[in-house]
Amino acid sequence: MQKRNALIAGSSGLVGSSLLRQLLENDNYEKILVLVRKPIGKSNPNLIQCQVDFDQLESFKTDVRIDDVFCSLGTTIKTAGSKDAFCKVDHDYVLNLGNWCAANGVQRFLVVSAMGADQGSWVFYNRVKGKMEKSVSRLNIAQIQVFRPSVLMGNRAEKRGGEKIAQAVMGGLGFLFAGPLLKYKGIHADVVAGAMIKSAANDVKGFKIFDSGEMQRM
């Protein structure tokens, strides 16, 4: 069986760092490329770091055949500095990566979104995520898979006060979220990353959305 090669965008984030670790440990993958603005402090014979400008991603070239692209790009309005800057990361950069996939013959594009994503939502964050999903769904890629986690559990390098409070609540009351409520239960970043990798191994054609409950059951 021929080993596959993967590319990750957003490898420094909560889900992205777990994706990187799990893919490097996965015997089905040979080379793991990460798109970065500056070098990350990791070393592995199967890891290739590629410094890129996400505003000009179409110019990125690689001689490595890419089978699966994992996108966990995302920020906050506070970190980005404005709503426009937030949109650039959470919509434009994701779409830029998807366009790169389509132009370079990538068959699988797997994207982290968020529970509640809806381009018609009155909540700005959910509206941007919904718009991103709609834009990505139109790409000419054989398999597009979108993952909508609920509250992400795990230790994030970037401090997010609201997320810490939500994690504490979910940690104490998680047992209440069962059956149809499972999709609202907090989900660990490792579970999200694991679900994405497992899903990439399946021949799921077209556009598919996985909610948080589906990821936890996987």
Annotation says 131 is catalytic: no
Q: Give start and end residues of each alpha helix (H) in the chain.
A: 14-25, 77-80, 83-87, 94-103, 124-137, 161-173, 189-200, 212-217
Instruction: State the catalytic residue, choosing from 129, 131, 183, 185.
Output: 129
Annotation says 42 is catalytic: no
Residues in contact with 53: Cβ distance below 8 Å, sequence separation at least 6, in sequence order:
37, 59
Rounded Cα distance, 101 and 139, in Å: 9
User: How many beta carbons lie within 10 A of that of residue 21, not counting itself?
Assistant: 16
| Domain of 164, in residue numbers | 4-217
Query: Are 189 and 14 contacting, i.e. CB atoms less than 8 angstroms apart?
Result: yes
Query: For every one of its 218 residues, what pLDDT tens digit does the chain have, with 9 covering 90 and above?
Result: 789 999 999 999 999 999 999 999 999 999 999 999 988 888 899 999 999 999 999 999 999 999 999 999 999 999 999 999 999 999 999 999 999 999 999 999 999 999 999 999 999 999 999 999 999 999 999 999 999 999 999 775 555 554 444 444 445 544 544 555 555 679 999 999 999 999 999 887 899 999 999 999 88
Number of domains forming the structure of the chain? 1
CATH of the domain at 30: 3.40.50.720
Chain CA centroid to CA 99, Å: 16
Instruction: State the catalytic residue, choosing from 42, 88, 125, 184.
Output: 125
Name the nearest CA neighbour of 19 among 209, 213, 190. 190
Rounded Cα distance, 66 and 69, in Å: 7
